[in-house]
């Protein structure tokens, strides 16, 4: 974790609301970072403050409608990449290409794909991390413990069942603001 002015201010703000940042540094200059559980609009400002505390430029994927006026410019400035979820656009290939073109990239994806209830995760994060050959960071916003951060970095094996079992183990006990909206940790 860094100790610059923005980092200290962000830590102070999170602390005023009872939040603590947990952070294991990344093993590589590139990674896909999944954020689970994602059940509330409050996840975004808490996540942005936590990102400032750890001082790593983590970009994020968001639905394209977020990037329209009046807030589109702000979301882009914060590192957002719009994705059209209404049609197939070659998302995985685009993200793999983005990783190949950059020397460093941390890309956050909510595997549930929404704040609403889903019965399983979308598989894009998994396919991107495997195809790009980058580690997977396990970020969380745990309202039950008032903790936010990145707890693990995994190298996916390609054995989907084994990899998902590891993810379930790492996320065990983490709770979103609305636990009833949490998606099952399994790929669709």
**What ranges in 17-153 are assigned the alpha helix state H?**
43-54, 72-77, 91-101, 124-132
**Is the Cβ–Cβ distance between 56 and 26 less than 8 Å?**
yes
For each of the domains in the chain, give its residue range(s) and CATH number, in order of start: 5-172 (3.40.50)
User: Which residue's structure tokens are 């460093």?
Assistant: 104
Supply the pLDDT for residue 162. 97
Supply the pLDDT for residue 2. 62
Report if pTM > 0.85: yes
Q: Which of 31, 183, 174, 60 is nearest to 121 (CA)?
A: 183
DSSP state of 182: P
Per-residue pLDDT tens digits of the chain, which is 188 residues long = 667 899 999 999 999 999 999 999 999 999 999 999 999 999 999 999 999 999 999 999 888 888 999 999 999 999 998 887 667 778 899 999 999 999 999 999 999 877 777 788 989 999 999 999 999 999 999 999 999 999 999 999 999 999 999 999 999 999 999 999 888 899 97
Supply the pLDDT for residue 119. 82
Supply the pLDDT for residue 115. 72
Give the span between the Cα atoms of 64 and 75, in whole angstroms.
10
């Amino acid at each position: 974790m860094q100790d610059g002015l923005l980092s200290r201010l962000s830590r102070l703000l999170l602390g005023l609301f009872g939040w603590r940042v947990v952070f294991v540094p990344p093993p590589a200059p590139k990674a896909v970072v999944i954020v689970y559980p994602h059940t509330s609009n409050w996840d975004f400002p808490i996540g942005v403050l936590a990102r400032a505390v750890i001082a790593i430029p983590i970009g994020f994927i968001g639905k394209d409608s977020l990037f329209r006026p009046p807030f589109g410019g702000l979301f882009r400035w914060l590192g957002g990449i719009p994705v059209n979820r209404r049609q197939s656009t070659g998302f995985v290939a685009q993200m793999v290409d983005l990783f190949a073109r950059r020397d460093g990239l941390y890309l956050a994806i909510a595997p549930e794909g929404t704040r609403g209830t889903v019965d399983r995760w979308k598989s894009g994060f998994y396919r991107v991390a495997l195809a790009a050959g980058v580690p997977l960071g396990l970020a969380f916003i745990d309202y039950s413990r008032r903790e936010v951060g990145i707890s693990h970095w995994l190298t996916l094996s390609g054995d989907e069942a084994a990899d998902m079992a590891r993810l379930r183990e790492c996320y065990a006990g983490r709770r979103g603001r609305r636990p009833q909206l949490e998606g099952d940790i399994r790929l669709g």
